[in-house]
Structure formats: structure tokens, C-alpha cells
Structure 1
Amino acid sequence: MDRRPQRDRPVSAAVPAPDATDAAATERGTAPLLPVILGADIGVYALARSFHEAYGVRSIVVSGAALGPVARSQIIDNVLLGPDATPEHMVDRLVELAAEHPGRRLVLLANSDWLVRVVVRHRARLEPHYIVPFLSGDLLDRISDKATFAEICADLGIDVPRTIVQDFAGAGEAGWQPVAVDLDYPLIAKAASSADYQDVHFDGKKKVFEIASPAELDALWVSLAAAGFRGRFVVQDLVPGDDTHMRSITAYVDSRGAITLLCSAHVLIEEHTPSGLGNPAAMITQRIDPMLEQARTFLTATGYIGFANFDVKVDPRDGTYRFFEVNPRIGRNNYYLTAAGANPMRFLVGDRVDGLAVEPVVVDRQVLYSILPHRLLLRYVLDPALNARVRALVKAGDVVHPLRYRGDRSLRRRAYVAAALVNQVRKFRTYYPRPTSTGF
């Protein structure tokens, strides 16, 4: 019997069930819901799936190309902008789309940092047509910068790795020199703002660099300056520990400023391709109250609104939770919330569409979220206790892959999901081929 959770299981009677929410919308005279989502990755598909599970609606996905996760889906209508579309072209098309769907209540979501920035910067044009559930532009600029984020956390007593900021604003001028870095090696280097780094190209570019020596760091500085990067890079103390020391937090703060959804997860393994480094590939939802309280402190103190996704690592030297960054969006792996019984679209729609004060929920149900074949995952989970937890969740059927959806199971979709699983094996053999446990 296939016991994979396909629909969320309610964790609180205060979270409206689909029928109740639809009835509430009808009673208030609310127009039918139409989600419009920007992007084309697995996280975008997960959002469309969560909307479909909760409300039975198809989503419009707007992107440059219909990539595998959103292609040939029965729950998605793809609107293609083409690979050369500018942000202004995208905004123009969104306004046109709104005119093409009169009488619908349009909710606009984006799930990458640069797309969130485009939406927030063009809020004045979009809000007459869409619900735009994102934070303010000023706060976005502050918290999206990893250097500023570290400063805010330090002021609030939230643990972060020791951080040094390298500013490249003057890197094109004669005599510019980078600041000295007095951290122990190896250390971590990454762009303070992913938006500043998005269009910078050079050989060896990575999302995150692990730097082994001063000479290697100097070479990175030279490459960044020569490539025209003029933003800021942060250099941080390398918190020891493998992928299993990583944690993820997802939150929703409603339009009243109330934190109505908190969920945390224990990462089992991350992706190790250069472009995907740091994205969790498998995790187990787990309520971790001390860590969640720090997230609550940050969200409350900053006046945050909308979805937030925190990257955190447990420091094995002292057991502290080191906060690395907050993403101003729900995150690529958002389906772990729906799998654990708290479909995040219900919190959003209850708040922004139906005007409800949804009762706050902290998720405590454990499920395994994984985009990997089970055998591959178990080869990389070396800790015996974690390995046993994975096996138990698989045996109980408490495991979910965001692309495996009974409501969207055409032959082509099933073939794509099967190919994606095989591709994961290839990627791990290529980029992370170290010996591990024996699997099943």
C-alpha cells in the first residue's frame, strides 16, 4: 500500500480546511483564487502543488522557459517570457495577465531572491492587480545582505559565525586593496547579496566558497575584481560539521505582524553541484524550540511580513545554533511544510484573501522530505541514529518527494520524475563520490 502523504494532515483546527476556506470566500464575496508564481524550479512546482491540494486550483507559472519541474504539468499553465526577457518585460506581462483574468483574486509569489526583488521594486504597478505578500523594500535590502543580517543578529543576541566584510565598491580604482582577514583557515566566503552576484561571471564561480589558504582567498578577490563585481563579500568562520549539522526554518508572518506558522527541519544531505551547493536534498521535519525562538525574535524585531526561510547550522563545538541568512521567500524546499501537515498556502490565503486571523501553528509532526532515491540517501546518512530514523520513516510511508503527486501523474510527468531521480545518482557520483554507508 502506498502511504506517501499526498495531502497535508491538519495540525490545528484553526487552520481552515479547503471546503471551509472556499465557503468563507464565497460568503465574503471574494473572487475565485488564481495563484501566479514566478520561476520554474522544483520549489515553484511545490507551491503550485500546495495550492492545488488545498483549493483544487491551477496555477499560472511565469518564467523564461518551462523547465522540467513545471513542464507538462496538469496543475500548471505556463506563460513563457523567453530567455532574454527583462524585469520590466516581466512586470508588463504580469499586468497583462491580470487583465486577461477579470473576476479572479490573483496572488503573486516568487521563490528566488532576484525575482522577489523585482516584485518588491515594482509593487506600485503590481498591487492594483495582485496580492503581493512580501516585506517592504527597505527591509528587503537590509536582511538580504548577509553582512547586514549578521549585524542585526548580533544586536539581537542571535548567534552567527564571526564575519568580516569585504567591500568591492572601489575595486576598479587604482590602489584598491582588500581588507585583512584574521580568521582561521579553512573559512567560508560568499556574496553578501545574491542580487549583486547574479550577473557576475568568472571561471570557478560558486555560490559558496570554502577557502583553504590566504593565497586561495587572494585569488578569489582578484577574480571578483576583474569580473566587475562591486558589491560586498562576507568571509566567515567555518562552522565545523557535515550536512547533517544544518537546519532549516520556514515561517509566515501575517499582515497583522503575527507569526502564524513556524516549522523547522533537520537537514540530512545537501546538493553538491557548483550551482546547487547548499540546497537541502533531504531533511526530516523536527520541532526545535530554542532555534525557533531565535527566529521569532528576529522576525518580531525587524517588523517582518510574509514568508521567511532561515539557514542555520548547529555548532558542534558548543551546541549553539548559528544563523547564516534569511531568504525573503518561502524557500526551494517548501513542500516539507505541506508534507508535515501545515500547507503554507492556507496560512497565506486565510490571511491575505479571506482576511482571517489564522491561529498560530508550530509544526511538530516528523516526515522525511527527499528528492533523492532512498538507497542513495541512506548511503550518505552515516550517523546510525539518523540512518535508523530515515529507515523508519520510509517504512511507515512518512516520506514525500515534491514532484510525486497523484493529482499530476501523466505518463510524461512520471517519466520526468524517474529521470530526475536517476540524475541525482549521477550528480552525487560526479560531485560528492565519497564512500558512505551500505544503504538498504
Structure 2
Amino acid sequence: MKAKTNVLVTCGRFYPSIALVRALHDAGARVDVADSYKLAPALHSSAVDQFHVVAPAAGDPLQFVEDVAQIIKDRDIDLVVPAIEEGFYLRNYEDLIPAPIFAPSFATIEQLHDKARFHALCAELGLRTPKTITVTSQDELRDAIGQFDLYLARPAFSRGGQTCLTNHGPRAGEMSVDDCVPTTENPWLVQEFVEGDDACSFSVVRDGEVVVHCTYEPSVAATGGYAIQFHSIDDFGTLEVARAIAKRFDYTGFLGLDIRRTPDGAFVMIECNPRVTAGSFLTPGEWVGGAVIDEPSELRIAPAGQKRQYDAYMLVGNAAKLPARKLLHELLTTPDAVLKAGDVLPALYCLINRRHWSHKAEEEHTSLSEAFTADISWDGSPMPTMPEGRGA
């Protein structure tokens, strides 16, 4: 028997993959990491034994799968641990991946990643959701938004709030109906805007059981809607929801939930992310790493009161558009999620990445989040079929 578990983490550009790489290393694994972008932060962590540049998962999924399969063979990999949506491609082509994948089945991913199907699942589980209309054309979208005083609309296959049509809040007016393209393959959800505070959860799940759980809130959000500062809080019911979903699908992998807490003390389910989330930075690394490579003996719940932020998003372009005095205060008082003594290069590469993807977004006339995720995300479109004889 090998002394160490050899693990391959994919998508080293995704900031939570840095927490994941460190957690697995601290749990005793030998860690490799891969990405299509050679300056991805996690590739340069001191916790990494070797890094690999692979084809982009969304841009060339067949080559991506072949690249990962070759790494597994060359490096004697025991376990593949995806960080974000590149894992959806690995699960779709799992027959070609010669190692276990720490992620739910593709059928489970399809249901949870699709916000329309997740809305239906919540109804089955008795969980409250916003009033919702699913549309597949611009005409249906116009009709649906007319049925709500305050609304929020977005694609069924989207992430991080990067595409949002709304008439309320700081993002009102960012998009018009003419900018939206609902289709049968990628419908949009039009939902009643629910007032309240955002909250999230992050779980590590094995064989249908939640073994590590963290509940947290965003403290500061970027103008694109994604959180760049976050803190752990006491659980208010997210654990039971995560358990219900885990049991329903006999789930194994990471599970994230986005929730809106209403003024009346209730909570409303918003979406599910079958992947790693920022909660990994608020959870002890030895818990996360141990839960992935070993069989945990008991449930572990991250303590409230931990606070972290992405300094790269504060420093390069001030993504949250904070006043100078507030920005300085946060930089001086809140620990960077990425910076760690003895492993400082990922923090430097986060600054490089932030600038790189910002420039790419400007060149392509798109948002930062869209530029960042373009070659790793999945929009629900059918994936190509592997030609006979290829990928064997």
C-alpha cells in the first residue's frame, strides 16, 4: 500500500481550490493540480507536488478529459477532486477517467445545477423558494416580469449572479430584456424578488452523509454580485437542508447552498452549487482534507466568527467600489483568504490573475466573472460525443 494518497485537484484558478490543495496536503495527501491557465494561483502553492497545464474543459472537453486521464496514469493518481464546473465534464465522461472522482453523478449535477429543476426539487422537499416562472423566449420573459412588482431573472444554468435582469437593488438596469436569450436548451427563471440577507453553506458529503458543514454570510460583494468578503455564522437550518439533499441523491462530493434570510426569520432557497465554495476558507483544512481522503468518524461543524476576504479583488480595481477609508479599514482588519505564511505565491498569483481576467474581460467586452469562467463552465448544452477509439 502506498504511504500517501495521490490526489489531482482540477481548476487551480478558482480561489477555493487553494484552500482545497492546502487541506489535502495537510491531511497527508500528495497533491497535483491542473488548469488550462499556467498562472492559476493554486498551481504555485507550496502544497503542490506537481502542476499540469491541460486543455480548457468547456473549450475542448474531449482533449481536457484525455489530458486528465493521462495525468492520472503518469502520476499514479488515486483520486480526482474537481473544484468547480470542470468537474461536470469529468463526471460526464467518467468512463474515460481511470480513477475515482470526488463529485456526485452527472445526473445529480444536472438536476442541482439547473435552477429550474432545483426549484422543483425544493417543492418536493417542502422547502420555500421564490415565486418562479420558467421561460424559453424573450416574449415569455417580457410577459413573466410583468407579473411581478419586483423581479429577478437569470439563466437556469448560471453561476455567481454573473447574469442578472432585475428592477430592484444595486443591479437594477444592468441588463434589458433585449440582452437576454432564453431558449428551450437554456431557459431562464423569473422570480419574485425576496427581501432579506444572503447566506450560504458549504458541506463535504460522503455516501449521502454530511460530514463537514459550514454556514456563512457574504460581508462585502463585488459589483457583479459575487462575494469577496465572507464570515462564518451559526447554522439556522442549512445543515438539515444539506442532509436532505445528500440523502436524496446518495451524494458524494462538495455541496454549496445559497439562501435568502427574510425579515420574518424564515429562509428561502435560491440555488445549489454542486462544487467547492468560499466556505472552504472558513472551515479547518484538516477537516476538509481528512473528509475527502479518509472516512470521517463524526460530523464537524465550522465555528462561527471566522472572517476572510479576497485582497486581490480589493486591491486591483476595488471590485466592491468601497470608499477609500472603508477599503483601507477592511484591508487592515480582515485576513486575506489566500495569504498564508510559508505559502505566499498563491496570493501573488491571485493579483496577477485578477489583472489578467480583468484585461480579458475588457478586450472581449464582457464581465470579469464571464471571462474568468468561460472555459470552465457548463451552460446545459449537450456535450460532444467521444469518437470511437478516442479516449481509450
CA deviations over 1:173-225 (Å, ceiling 9, x no partner): xxx85583154243111111239xx9xxxxxx94223246xxx8995267416
Larger Rg: 1
Once residues 271 and 41 of structure 1 are traced to their aligned partners in structure 2, the CA distance between those partners, rounded to angstroms, is 16
Residue matched to 1:91? 65
TM-score (norm 2): 0.75
Q: What residue in structure 2 maps to residue 345 of structure 1?
A: 289
RMSD: 3.8
**Pairing of 1:31-430 with structure 2 (within 5 A):** 32-39=4-11, 40-55=13-28, 57=30, 59-70=31-42, 72-76=44-48, 77-82=50-55, 86-102=60-76, 105-113=77-85, 115-126=86-97, 129-168=98-137, 180-181=143-144, 182-194=146-158, 206-211=162-167, 219-220=176-177, 223-224=180-181, 230-241=185-196, 245-255=197-207, 257-272=208-223, 277-316=224-263, 318-338=264-284, 343-350=287-294, 356-372=295-311, 400-409=335-344, 415-416=348-349
Aligned length: 344
The C-alpha deviation readout for 1:356-401, integer Å capped at 9, x for no partner, is 35211222342112114899899969xxxxx9xx99xx87xxx542
Shift in alpha-carbon separation, 1:206–1:406, aligned structure 2, 3 A: closer
Structure 1 unmatched runs, 5+: 1-28, 199-204, 351-355, 382-386, 432-440
Q: Give the residue type in structure 2 aligned to 1:119.
A: L
Distance, in Å, in 2 between the alignment partners of 1:222 and 1:271 is 21
Tell me, yes or no, if the aligned pair for 1:267 and 1:282 is still in contact at 8 Å.
yes
Contact kept? 1:251, 1:262, Cα under 8 Å? yes
Q: CA deviation at 1:60?
A: 2.1
Are residues 81 and 229 of structure 1, via their aligned partners in 2, closer, same or farther at CA, if it must alter by over 3 Å?
A: farther
Q: Is the 8 A contact 1:108 1:133 kept in 2?
A: yes
Q: In structure 1, how many angstroms separate the alpha carbons of the residues matched to 2:242 and 2:211?
A: 13
Going from structure 1 to structure 2, the CA distance change for 1:183 and 1:342 (only over 3 Å counts) comes to: farther
Distance 1:415 1:308, change over 3 A: closer
How far 1:34 sits from its partner (Å)? 2.1
Structure-2 change in CA distance of 1:85 and 1:143 (3 Å): closer
Distance of aligned partners of 1:50 and 1:94 in 2 relative to their CA distance in 1, 3 Å threshold: same
CA distance in structure 2 between the partners assigned to 1:344 and 1:315 by the alignment:
30
Deviations 1:226-276, CA, capped at 9 Å, x for gaps: xx78411101111224xxx11110112212x2221121012212222xxxx
State the 1:301 CA deviation. 3.2
What SS does the aligned partner of 1:262 have?
strand
Q: Percent identity?
A: 16
Check 1:144–1:417 CA distance in 2 against 1; reply closer, same or farther (3 A cut): closer
Q: What secondary structure sits across from 2:110 in the alignment?
A: helix
Asked whether the equivalents of residues 211 and 217 of structure 1 are also in contact (C-alpha less than 8 Å), the reply is no
2-structure distance, mates of 1:82, 1:302 = 30
Q: 1:345 to 1:183 in 2, by over 3 A?
A: farther
With the length of structure 1 as denominator, give the TM-score of the two structures.
0.67
Contact 1:63 1:81 in 2 (8 A): yes
